[in-house]
Amino acid sequence: MVLTGNQFMFFLFAAIIVLFSILTVTSRRILRAATYLLFVLISTSGLYFMLNYQFLAAIQLTLYAGGIVVLIIFSILLTSHINQKFEPVDWKKKVSAAIAVIAGAIVCLTAILQFSFHANQAIAKEINMDVIGNSLLNYGENGYALPFEVISVLLLAVMIGAIVIAKKKKE
Amino acid sequence: MIDYTYTILIPLIPLLMFIFLGLTGHKFKAPTQGILGTLGLLASTLLSYYTAYQYFFNSIKVDGAYQKIIGFHTLWLQFTDTLYIDLGVMLDPISVMMLIVITTVSLMVHLYSIGYMKGDKGFSHFFAFLSLFSFSMLGLVIATNIFQMYIFWELVGVSSYLLIGFYYEKQSAVAAAKKAFIVTRFADLGFLIGILILSFNTGTFDFQLLTNPHGAAILKGGSIAFMGLSTMTWAMILIFMGGAGKSAMFPLHIWLPDAMEGPTPVSALIHAATMVVAGVYLVARLFPVFAISAPSGLEVVAWVGGFTSLFAAVIACTQIDIKRVLAFSTMSQIGYMMLALGVSGYGGEHGLGYMASMFHLFTHAFFKALLFLGAGAIIHAVHSNNMTDMGGLRKHLPITHITFLVACLAIAGIPPFSGFFSKDEILVAAFESNKALFLIEYLVAGLTAFYMFRLYYNIFWGKQTVYHATPHEAPATMTLPLIFLAIASATTGFIPFSKFVTSDGLPFETVTEWGIAIPSVLIALVGIAIATVLYYKPTEIPSKMAHALGGFYKSAYHKFYFDELYQFVTHKIIFRYISTPIAWFDRHIIDATMNGIANVTNRVSNAIKGFQSGQLQKYAYVFVSGVVVLAIIFIYLLKY
Amino acid sequence: MYQEIPLQYFLIISTLMFFIGIYGFLTRRNLITMLMSTELILNSVNINFVAFNRYLYPDQFQGHFFSIFIIAIAAAEASLAIAIIINIYRRINNINVEEVDEMKY
């Protein structure tokens, strides 16, 4: 069958996401798992680009792929042997987790797919930096000033917390 | 109307003394506790004498008969109008007489114990227990209803247990205390069942209602028959079973000889004068019911009493321990009292047996207590209980000798001592109603004289024993009671008892029947003569006679093997076939069930404690599965 | 584009990613790999929000902004989780999640 460009890109990204996320959770070497995670995140960002949310995609790449994965790799380096292979997990755990997960997936999918969502034909509002900046600090209609402030407090708390927890205790 | 409320103090003062001495006695130095106990009893004694004086001389008589007076009572439990239990004081000729007896003998025993128990490390709680016993016995005799009497009955049993087992380090004393308590408790089972049947049929516990000869209660239940006897008869026989246990009648007599393990003052107080007569008192108290509704019960009483007196007299002729001789003598004399009650009629002259029984109770208390206290003085001097270790003591213990002789003459029934008068009345009553019982009692009178004087001669005459330490006379605190009781034994015979204590309250005249009196004195003299011949000087005749009688002598010496028989029945039959399976059942089925429940709980808890394993992933797994299950339920089953 | 790729495809992707993340969370033994699975879960939720926003409410921005906030929070949470993991590593010298079980019966 003939795929349009969009469809092809979508299926590519989708395949990468699913395949690499499965590999992340089943890989036996930790650094490979981190790398697979990186690929998943990049593909997700690709999906955002397809949906015309450029800012969000950029943030995804910067923060997730560039920040969090790097942080994870640093912590891997700090805490374990890189070349150490994981032991295989007890098969009872795997089977029981798989059953729970597959059951959950089936329930979710049947619940979602019974609705026929139609794309709304309304005119899409363009999101550019102007709009984002205004909305983030707007305290009136369509304004996200409150979550913004809350996030800033949260980031402060997390910074302090991370420093305190990870600090070496004086002897 | 005289106010008799103060009579509640008569039992209460010993109770308070018990509590006081029990809690703080050890803080005082001996003999302060003894003096305190004695003072308490002295107060009760004086109050009893005053009460007796007031009652017998100044109280109001209806138709010339003494009335039952309630001095004090409080209601405890009420079931219906007539069925109630109250606690109170009832004054009645026999209860006032018993008050005098109990307080006097108890006072003498207290005074005596100050000297006898000197140096014993349990000195203070001995007096506490003596006061407890006095309280219980006093409460028993003034009881207004049968349930109150039962309560004090059990209290008396407990005090007796404490006192018999006083030397608790001695194995035999502990065993004797247990035996006494268990046998009397077993008898009390019959007593309780009897009370229940009686109160169910008559609808009341109260003595005034029960024993009213014209009342409604006494006639009920006379007609329904069960196995040939009416229910009232069964009730009275069961109640008599309780009395027989406490009074050591055959076959519940086995505890009394063993109870001699207690200290001698205890034997004097409990097993001679007061507790063992509780059974006689019970029958006397319920006498109208016996006489009017259950005459066959009275026959049982008479025959049991008669048989016991013969049985005990025969055994007493063979015993060597002086206290055991006295114990069997007590059993025999109480047999006399029971027999006298059994052959008595009700009302006026017919109640001669009743009056005689109470009279004998009165006189017997004094001379038997005197005998026991004298025996105590002898044991105190010689440090042994056996006749074979004694002999020729009359030179060393003069006061004890004279008083003991007085008591022996009283019990043998020689005039003018008190025993003659009371025993004579019993013989007259027996002669008038049942000749067979009269003959038995006549024979027993002779045996009594014989074994008492055998005892007397073996101790004070007989062989000239050389003693390690010269026996010395007892101190004044021990001899004063002896002298007092000897005077009482000598003089109380002259009290015109039938003017005071009779079956229906009406006084009547008694005349000495010389036709009965002279033969009874004669047979007593014959008994004394035989004893003199055999024992006055050491001779070979007693041992030859023992050999001649062979097996009979041996079984009499072993109390006719009743102890062994009972032991066999309980151990081999009851314990093995009834108790052991029940114990097995209890241990393996009931306990196993409890243990099983605990085990199951343990295992279930072990199984589910995995839920709190601390494993994060397990928690997450349970969480996710739970959400999925709930989602399935809510979406597909409940269709939200 | 929005007719060629129906909304359900996005939803299927996000559901699969979500449950794969849960599988990883339940199965992995290393604490850091558990953290990675958590990131997968958060990302799947992000895709969901964004897809709904674009398809059903193209003239509003709530989904978009919520996704931004989720990314910020995820970053914060990951850093704090790494701090805790480092602390655990210092204490018991490995980061096996089965060793961290002191809050048990």
pLDDT per position as a tens digit, B541-579 = 777 877 787 788 888 888 888 888 888 888 888 888 888
Mind listing the pLDDT tens digit for each residue in B251-264?
Answer: 888 999 888 888 99
Query: DSSP character for B61?
Result: -
**Residue-level pLDDT at A171:** 67
B453 has pLDDT over 80: yes
**Residue-level pLDDT at B370:** 92
Q: Are the C-beta atoms of C36 and A33 separated by less than 8 Å?
A: yes
What ipTM score was computed for the predicted complex, to two decimals? Answer: 0.91
State how far the Cα of B630 lies from the Cα of B42, in Å rounded to an integer: 88
Q: Tokens in use for B319?
A: 């015993």
Question: Chains near C, with 3+ CB pairs < 8 A?
Answer: A, B
Residues of A in contact with C7 (CB under 8 A): 117, 119
Pick the more confident residue, B181 or A121.
B181
User: What's the gap in Å between the CA of A45 and the closest CA on chain B?
Assistant: 28
Q: Between A93, A100, A111, which is nearest B624 by CB?
A: A100
Which phi and psi angles does B145 have, rounded to 5°?
A: -140, 170
Contacts by B505-509, CB closer than 8 A, 24 or more apart: B505/B61, B505/B65, B505/B66, B505/B67, B505/B93, B506/B63, B506/B64, B506/B65, B506/B347, B506/B348, B507/B64, B508/B348, B508/B349
Q: Are the C-beta atoms of B109 and B269 separated by less than 8 Å?
A: yes
Which phi and psi angles does C17 have, rounded to 5°?
A: -65, -40
B225 has pLDDT over 70: no
| Residue B640 pLDDT class (50, 70, 90 cuts) | low
Q: N- to C-terminal Cα distance for chain A? A: 69
State how far the Cα of B81 lies from the Cα of B185, in Å rounded to an integer: 31
Q: N- to C-terminal Cα distance for chain C? A: 56
**Nearest-CA neighbor of B110 among B10, B34, B12, B25?**
B34
| Residue A6 pLDDT class (50, 70, 90 cuts) | confident
E-state strands within B392-513: none
* Mean pLDDT along residues A14-33: 93
Report CB contact under 8 Å: A122, C83.
no
Q: Is B487 exposed, middle or buried (0-12, 13-18, 19+ CB in 10 A)?
A: middle
Q: What is the length of chain C?
A: 105
Residues of A in contact with C74 (CB under 8 A): 64, 68
Q: List per-block mean pLDDT (blocks of 10 residues) for chain C, which spans 105 residues.
A: 84 95 92 93 95 89 92 94 91 86 81
Write b or e for each residue in B81-91: b if 16 or more Cβ atoms lie within 10 A of its Cβ, otherwise e: ebbbbbbbbbb
Cβ–Cβ contacts within 10 Å for residue B153, how many? 28
Query: DSSP character for A27?
Result: -
Mind listing the pLDDT tens digit for each residue in B33-74?
Answer: 888 889 999 999 999 999 888 888 887 777 767 777 887 788
**Residue-level pLDDT at C78:** 94
| Residue A156 pLDDT class (50, 70, 90 cuts) | very high
**Residue-level pLDDT at C64:** 92
Query: DSSP character for B475?
Result: P
Residue contacts between A and C (CB atoms, under 8 Å): 218
Q: Give the amino acid at C17.
A: M
| Residue B630 pLDDT class (50, 70, 90 cuts) | very high
Q: Are the C-beta atoms of A44 and C47 separated by less than 8 Å?
A: yes
User: What's the gap in Å between the CA of B611 and the closest CA on chain C?
Assistant: 9
Mind listing the pLDDT tens digit for each residue in B341-350?
Answer: 998 888 777 8
| Residue B353 pLDDT class (50, 70, 90 cuts) | confident
- pLDDT cut 70: percent of chain A above it: 99
**Residue-level pLDDT at C66:** 93
**Residue-level pLDDT at B614:** 83
Mind listing the pLDDT tens digit for each residue in B380-437?
Answer: 888 888 888 888 888 888 888 999 999 999 999 888 888 888 888 888 888 888 888 8
**Residue-level pLDDT at A24:** 93
Q: Is B58 exposed, middle or buried (0-12, 13-18, 19+ CB in 10 A)?
A: exposed
Query: DSSP character for B8?
Result: G
What is the pLDDT of chain B when averaged over all its residues?
Answer: 87
**Residue-level pLDDT at B223:** 63
Report CB contact under 8 Å: A107, B628.
yes
